[in-house]
Structure 1
Amino acid sequence: MLHGRSAEISGLDEVIVRARDGSGGAVVLRGEAGVGKTALLDPAAARGATMRVLRTTGVEPESDLAFAACTGCCGR
């Protein structure tokens, strides 16, 4: 269990439940290195079980392009 992260875990679980009910969704998790982003996402992905999980990672040269990593992920 991640201590002090119940709000974040709850939010991720809500996205998972909505996805199971047929609603699409996305989560943007931003923060400094080492704050626990992966520690939140790995268990959430596992709770998704058979659902498709797409992940991307931003890189410093694209930091001035908001959500640049997401621009090509949906076949657009």
Structure 2
Amino acid sequence: MAKVFNVNGACQKNIHYMVNLTPRLMEIKAMTDAGKFFSINKARQYGKTTMLRAFTEFIRNSYIVLRLNNP
């Protein structure tokens, strides 16, 4: 299946075009490894959920990741 541009919801790298998030993920992991806090705050449709989902995959081998949703 050809990749498409996604403008609704979180992106999935196997079906949507995406920018390379690796440099940002490495920066966030360095902060996490140092015990620092970080926040991701932007308006709607800026990729916050996509970034956090990518980060959980990025650190999966180093950390236990718990994903919580508030119903």
TM score, norm. by length of structure 2: 0.48
TM score, norm. by length of structure 1: 0.46
